[in-house]
Amino acid sequence: MRFILVFVFAAAVALFSFRSATTSLSSDVDSLRYSEEKHFKNLRQLTFGGDNAEAYWSFDSKMVSFQSNNKAWGLNCDQIFYMPIEGMDLSDGAKKPTLISTGQGRTTCSFFLPGNKTILYASTHLGGKDCPKDAERTPGGKYLWPIYDSYDIFVAELNGKQLKQLTQTPGYDAEATVSPKGDKIVFTSTRNGDLDLYTMDINGKNVKQITHEIGYDGGAFFSPDGKKIVFRASRFTTEEAKKEYLDYLKQGLVAPTQMEIFTCNVDGSDLKQLTNLGKANWAPFYHPSGKKIIFSSNHKGKRGFEFNLFMINTDGSGLEQISYDKVFDSFPMFSPDGKKIIFSSNRNNGGTRNTNLFVADWVD
Q: State residue 347's pLDDT score.
A: 97
Reported as a pLDDT band with limits 50, 70 and 90, residue 17 is: very low
Q: State residue 24's pLDDT score.
A: 63
Sheet containing 272-273: give its strands across.
Answer: 217-222, 228-233, 260-265, 272-273
With 90 as the cut, is the pLDDT of residue 30 above it?
Answer: no
Which carries the bigger pLDDT value, residue 139 or residue 58? 58
Q: State residue 202's pLDDT score.
A: 97
Which carries the bigger pLDDT value, residue 17 or residue 54? 54
Residues 6+ apart with CB under 8 A from 142: 255, 257
pLDDT of 277-335, one tens digit each? Answer: 999 999 999 999 999 999 999 999 887 789 999 999 999 999 999 999 999 999 999 99
Q: State residue 5's pLDDT score.
A: 47
> The CATH number of 3-362 is which of 2.40.50.140, 3.40.50.720, 1.10.1020.10, 2.120.10.30?
2.120.10.30
Q: Domain coordinates of the chain in residue numbers?
A: 3-362
Percent residues over pLDDT 90 in the chain: 85
Residue type, 351: G
For residues 211-240, average pLDDT: 97
Q: State residue 29's pLDDT score.
A: 66
For residues 10-30, average pLDDT: 49
What is the b/e burial string over 94-116, where b = at least 16 CB atoms within 10 angstroms of the residue's CB?
eebbebbbbebbbbbbbbbbeeb
pTM for this entry:
0.93
With 80 as the cut, is the pLDDT of residue 168 above it?
Answer: yes
Q: State residue 325's pLDDT score.
A: 96
β-strand partners of 161: none
pLDDT of 195-219, one tens digit each? Answer: 999 999 999 999 999 999 999 999 9
The answer to whether 166 and 204 have CB atoms below 8 angstroms apart is: yes
Reported as a pLDDT band with limits 50, 70 and 90, residue 135 is: confident
For residues 128-147, average pLDDT: 83
With 60 as the cut, is the pLDDT of residue 339 above it?
Answer: yes
With 80 as the cut, is the pLDDT of residue 26 above it?
Answer: no
Reported as a pLDDT band with limits 50, 70 and 90, residue 139 is: low
Reported as a pLDDT band with limits 50, 70 and 90, residue 40 is: very high
The answer to whether 217 and 203 have CB atoms below 8 angstroms apart is: no
Q: Tell how strand 145-146 and strand 118-123 pair up.
A: unpaired
Sheet containing 107-112: give its strands across.
Answer: 107-112, 118-123, 152-157, 162-165
d(CA 326, CA 99): 31
Q: State residue 136's pLDDT score.
A: 75
